[in-house]
Amino acid sequence: MRIGLAGVGRIGSFHAKTLRQHPEVKSMVLADADPARARHVADSLGVDAVARTEDLFSTARIDALVIATATDAHASLIVEGARAGLPVFCEKPVAIDAAQTRGVLRRIESARAPVHIGFQRRFDSGYMAARDAVRAGSLGWVHTLRACTLDAAPPPAEYVPTSGGIFRDCSVHDFDILRWVTGREVVEVYAVGQNRGADFFRAAGDADATGTLLTLDDGAIALVSATRYNAAGHDVRLEVLGSKDSLAVGLDDRLPLRSVEAGVTFPSGKPYTLFLDRFHDAYVRELAAFVDVAAGRRESPCSVEDALASLLIAEACEVSRRERRPVRVSEVTV
Ligand SMILES: NC(=O)c1ccc[n+]([C@@H]2O[C@H](COP(=O)([O-])OP(=O)(O)OC[C@H]3O[C@@H](n4cnc5c(N)ncnc54)[C@H](O)[C@@H]3O)[C@@H](O)[C@H]2O)c1
């Protein structure tokens, strides 16, 4: 299989390395808006072909497309790839808002090529085990879920105005995984935020720490917290509490949390610092799944419709924070 990869920045260069090591990927073509960066990554991985992004759809003669560009290029590349009949993997998000995401759905409606959106937690062994336990009924009925995405350090100032805000950028992963683990839909949210870090968050209309209370369609309650200032490390977890049993995802030796109880030494490992170390194995499994999708062995494990569903929850959170009230997700769905 010959794979074209657009965007070789932080996550794209990691994906390029993963694909390079996949036994079914026989050749690759790398493209980036910065051609020198594409050449540098290609040279470091022993990939011989680089191209302009637009050439991926013509002269590069690829079998599948991986998109890891900056967010503003995702929508048009998904549409162009799917319309060219290429199986497409695209990093989240599909687009910066729900209106543009719906536009992508309309424009690829008649394309038969599969599109896989990169919500990598669906390939993390902990989240997979949690989903299996919920589906098997071993927890009884789930009454409460607690999820968090706590970044160790804030992103650069210039990233924030184009990020879509902390709900769309960070908590969207928690919203996706809540839906995926429980198989339920979120019906209502109440979100609050604070600005006690750098001024550029407030200037962009964003918050630097948030708390969200969500109600699922079976009545279960979820709490999602996010921050850009968790110096202890990159802390991503989920607790699923049920009538018979409870479990935790991410409660391993690298958890960036310190116990103050006498004699307790857990956790004692090196704390996670970034999504790339926290989810290393999940990213590798995710792209192996995409190779299966591209080879026609499985359906997309995370569709554009899935991405739209979690984005709508994030948009409901934005309205809730701004207007200081609970918001039904159906309010932002129309
Ligand atoms: N799933 C995850 O956990 C996760 C983690 C990080 C980033 N992401 C997503 O991945 C995307 C990339 O993030 P990043 O942190 O690697 O950013 P980055 O800025 O490090 O890299 C983006 C790259 O895309 C290139 N680029 C921009 N427009 C292009 C175009 N039209 N054609 C070709 N190349 C283009 C840039 O030159 C740059 O090299 C973002 O959409 C982000 O939301 C997802």
What pLDDT was estimated at residue 40? 97
What pLDDT was estimated at residue 112? 87
Question: Pairing mode, if any, of strands 221-227 and 209-216?
Answer: antiparallel
Angstrom distance (rounded) from CA 185 to CA 209: 24
What pLDDT was estimated at residue 86? 97
Ligand 1 pocket, mutate which of 32, 120, 127, 168 (most atoms under 8 A from CB) = 32
Rounded mean pLDDT for each run of 10 residues along the chain, 334 residues in total: 97 98 97 97 95 93 97 96 97 95 96 96 98 98 98 96 94 98 98 98 98 98 98 98 98 97 97 97 98 98 98 98 98 88
Nearest atom in ligand 1 to the alpha carbon of residue 118 is 1
Q: 149: part of which helix (H) or strand (E)?
A: strand 142-150
Ligand 1 centroid to Cα of residue 131, in Å, is 29
Which contacts (CB < 8 Å, 24+ apart) does range 75-83 have? 75/100, 75/101, 75/103, 75/104, 77/6, 77/53, 78/104, 78/108, 78/115, 78/304, 79/104, 79/107, 79/108, 81/56, 81/57, 81/113, 82/108, 82/111, 82/113, 82/115, 83/107, 83/108, 83/111
Residues 6+ apart with CB under 8 A from 331: 316, 319
**Chain-centre distance for alpha carbon 173:** 5
Q: Which CATH architecture has domain 2-113?
A: 3-Layer(aba) Sandwich (3.40)
Ligand 1 centroid to Cα of residue 115, in Å, is 18
What pLDDT was estimated at residue 162? 87
| Residue nearest ligand 1's atom 33 by CA | 32
CB distance 32 to ligand 1 below 6 Å: yes
What pLDDT was estimated at residue 60? 83
CB distance 13 to ligand 1 below 6 Å: no
Nearest atom in ligand 1 to the alpha carbon of residue 72 is 28
CB distance 31 to ligand 1 below 6 Å: yes
Residue 221, φ and ψ in degrees, nearest 5: -110, 135
Which tokens sit at 127? Answer: 């989240």
What pLDDT was estimated at residue 48? 82
Q: Does domain 122-275+310-333 have CATH number 3.50.50.60?
A: no
Ligand 1 centroid to Cα of residue 99, in Å, is 21
What pLDDT was estimated at residue 119? 98
Question: Pairing mode, if any, of strands 142-150 and 221-227?
Answer: parallel
CB distance 118 to ligand 1 below 6 Å: yes
Neighbours of 24 (CB within 10 A): 12
Q: What are the residue boundaries of the structural domains of the chain, listed by start?
A: 2-113, 122-275+310-333
CB distance 12 to ligand 1 below 6 Å: yes
CB distance 7 to ligand 1 below 6 Å: yes
Ligand 1 pocket, mutate which of 10, 236, 276 (most atoms under 8 A from CB) = 10
Longest dimension (CA), the chain: 65
| Nearest by Cα to 4 from 294, 273, 302 | 294
